[in-house]
Amino acid sequence: MVRLQDKIAIVTGAASGMGRATAFAFAREGAAVTVTDVLEAEGEATAEEIRKAGGLARFVRHDITDAEAWSAVVADVVSEHGRLDVLVNNAGISGTGDSDVTSLAFFDKLIDINTRGAFLGIRSAAPHMARSGGGSIVNLSSVQSTHASPGQHLGYPTSKGAVSGLTRSAAVTLGVDGIRVNAVGPGLLPPMRSSGLSGSSEWRDKFVSRIPLGRTGEVEEVASAVLFLASDEAAYITGVEIMVDGGLSSAI
């Protein structure tokens, strides 16, 4: 079974990390993937590697905080393929990218990228999905959406908690149009490009000690959960948040 055969998908923040792994997983399962990111060289490389492996992919530079850019990207995909079936709001930044945990500038940046970006994606994709009979939207939240840890900027759990609320609200509102909206909440994964304190071995060792499975997660494990929610296997699932965290959210 090819789980996303002929599906048309957008994966944001797909130049690296979870987004890149998700784009590869989608392409392997038959989707035509539009890879978006602000990192042009890395995004192009992701799309090229997918094509070399026999998948369908292209790269579009995309600032997810820009409403007009969102409209343009979605319109371009619909013009190219006739519809949009799946949107993965993956792009985001770490909560340890600024040592000042009460920095107003960084708070605004976290909300702008992590929360506003997902809202704009839903806002742009939903009308097109509704016109073609439905679709699946998967947002990336975090274990920090319900639990906090020392060293995180105060705005990070705030931004990811808002993504969880946005997911539930959108699921309830858009279900009538056949659009499912779910979230995946990663736990501790390999450091992101934007990681600060959470990239240090000392901080990570302390965090790992609290994880029931006793290890860091892998981006491919998050991608597998996203793939499931995007696929028709999850056709009767909407408004949920799956934690991919090694049991951390159950232990704290």
The residues assigned a catalytic role are: 156
End-to-end CA distance of the chain: give it in Å, rounded: 38
How many C-alpha atoms does 72 have within 13 Å on its Cβ side? Answer: 11
Residues 6+ apart with CB under 8 A from 213: 246, 247
> 115, 166 in Cβ contact below 8 A?
yes
Range list of β-strands (E), 149-227: 179-186
Residues 6+ apart with CB under 8 A from 111: 155, 158, 159, 162
Rounded Cα distance, 236 and 249, in Å = 24
Give the Cβ contact number of residue 193 at 10 Å: 14
Type of residue numbered 3: R
